[in-house]
Amino acid sequence: MTDLPISADLARSFPDVFEGLKKASNLFDQIKCFEDLERLFLKGSGLSSNTYRSYLEAVRQFYHFTKGLNPLQVRPADIEAFYDDLVARVDRNTAYLRMRGLKKFFEGVRNVVPFFTSPFEIMGEKLHAKLNCTNKGNRTKKTLTREELKALLEFLRKDSSTRGREDYALVFMLVTSGLRASELCALRWGDLEESEGKWTALFIGKGDKEAEQELFAPAVEVCRQYFLHQFRRVPRPEDALFWTVPSFPHQSPAAMTAHTLWTRIKRIGAIVCGEGIIARELQFSPHLFRRYLPFPTMSCSVTPAEF
């Protein structure tokens, strides 16, 4: 990797940023081969070995195209130029897969470099649409825009009932974690680890492999507040994150299943579309939120206050 220039003025004026840059520099010093990139920035998502190899190939090709540009210096324009070069040589389906690999790589960099923002997070929606284009028309399923997600979360926050609090927590956790319905429903509070203000979920992912995923701390707090409201106590390690809401007196809540979660999200979609919060026709399911554009950083205006 090329060296990342750090000016003396930056070091004096912004010491916290400087420390972060030094940490990043030390991290990149560990990289001796492309397999190190896979270990540091791609592994840990519970994906198959073939998928990891495909993602690593995308990083390898991008690195050679940019002549060794440091990942921390990559801009959306660099990715667009790489994409344009790809589609001149390969079909759009292959180019699309390469973009998926790059996106996963920069997500991995963001997870280990605290100040870093992925170029996929700051690129415009037109560029996102361009990179998602495939053969035989664009068969990429519809996804939420940032404006739609913000309107959806703000609408859900207004309902202070137990079901309303859980609906808000469900959507907020799904969109910030990227977890599948089955993975989220299988989580227990004992599967969440907190270190220096950062939360990590440990779970069995795709292919029955152990995986871990960093969680957005405000989303974890929203889940905790929902749990406190429903059960009037702090969660125990064996407690599930989400539960059913009893519809009849003396009915006990049960840990939420993936089927129940799909039904709940479908119901939320019917309500928000009926209220005009979401004007487009979308298929609401937990998977809809896995296709959402990269979630904004901590300073995003939809970051919740406590209930």
- For residue 55, the model assigns a pLDDT of 76
CA distance 103 to 108: 9
Check residue 250 and give left, alpha or beta (phi > 0: left; psi -120 to 50: alpha): left
Rounded mean pLDDT for each run of 10 residues along the chain, 307 residues in total:
45 45 51 47 52 76 86 89 90 86 80 76 89 66 82 94 95 91 94 90 80 90 96 96 88 92 94 90 87 45 39
Q: Hey, what amino acid is at 92? A: R
What CATH number is given for 146-290 in this structure?
1.10.443.10
- For residue 290, the model assigns a pLDDT of 79
Q: How many residues does the chain have?
A: 307
- For residue 52, the model assigns a pLDDT of 65
Contacts of 269 (CB under 8 A, 6+ apart): 278, 282, 283, 284
- For residue 26, the model assigns a pLDDT of 53
DSSP 238-249: TSBS-B---SST
CA distance 62 to 87: 13
- For residue 31, the model assigns a pLDDT of 46
Token output for 176:
């910030």
CA distance 68 to 76: 16
DSSP 77-100: HHHHHHHHHHHTTS-HHHHHHHHH
| Alpha carbons within 13 A on the beta-carbon side of 250 | 0
Contacts of 184 (CB under 8 A, 6+ apart): 173, 174, 177, 241, 242, 261, 286
**Domain positions in the chain:** 8-131, 146-290
Residue in 105, 128, 93 with CA at minimum distance from that of residue 37 = 105
Residue in 120, 112, 57 with CA at minimum distance from that of residue 296 = 120
CB 254 within 8 A of CB 234: no
Give the 3-state DSSP-derived string for 260-301, with helices as H, strands as E and coil as C.
HHHHHHHHHHHHHHHCCCCCCCCCCCHHHHHCCCCCCCCCCC
- For residue 208, the model assigns a pLDDT of 73
Does the global pTM surpass 0.75? no
